[in-house]
Structure 1
Amino acid sequence: MPLPMDADTRVVAARDQVSVEVEGEAVILSLADGVYYGLDPVGARVWTLLEQPRTVAELRDAVVAEWEVDAPTAERDLLALLDALAGRGLVEVQPAA
């Protein structure tokens, strides 16, 4: 079960996957279950940022800077995406210190 996340939670892409960008979207293959997952352009940008450990706040700020969205909406949607990715083992979640 994924850990609860907030703005200070650190997240990074799991090692047990491979991914590629295709026409602005991300396609991720989970090596653990052999299932492919797809992300839209915003999700693909977040995925690129997750190559290095980032806090939810850093990811939110990047989304707000690049797309027309307010911070509360961006954070809510980001937490939902990260929770889904964590539930599938595609990201590693590190609780805030």
Structure 2
Amino acid sequence: MSDRFAVPPDVMARQVGEETVILDLASGTYFGLDPVGAHMWQAMVEGKTLAQVCERMLAMYEVSRGDIERDVLALGQKLFDKKLIALL
């Protein structure tokens, strides 16, 4: 939960309405995030630790800590696996 992430230079993201669209320029693939995922993404790319991302999400949504930790870790892992974020 102490990991921090950065966006690689070949990844671009734009907010479209309440969602975020991420483009991997290297592969030409798009990845979309719903509003909740978009908030998680924003906190991650601001350099927040995963624990800080969870705290932000807990302040925004009525959800259990266990659920939000599971969701933040799952999204972080998925983004990392797709090379859309890199560990600092």
Relative to the length of structure 1, the TM-score reads 0.83
Counterpart of 1:26, as a letter, is: T
Q: CA deviation at 1:42?
A: 0.7
Report the equivalent of 1:10: 4
Where does structure 2 lack aligned partners over 5 or more consecutive residues?
A: none
Contact 1:12 1:54 in 2 (8 A): no
Runs of 4+ in structure 1 over 4 Å off: none
Q: CA deviation at 1:74?
A: 0.3
Report the equivalent of 2:44: 50
Report the equivalent of 2:87: 93
Percent identity reads: 36
- Paired residues, what number? 88
In structure 2, how many angstroms separate the alpha carbons of the residues matched to 1:82 and 1:51?
A: 11
Residues 17-58 of structure 1: CA deviation (Å, up to 9, x unaligned): 111111200001001211010000011111122232221100
SS class of match (1:50): helix
In structure 2, how many angstroms separate the alpha carbons of the residues matched to 1:50 and 1:87?
A: 15
- Higher helix proportion (structure 1 or 2): 2
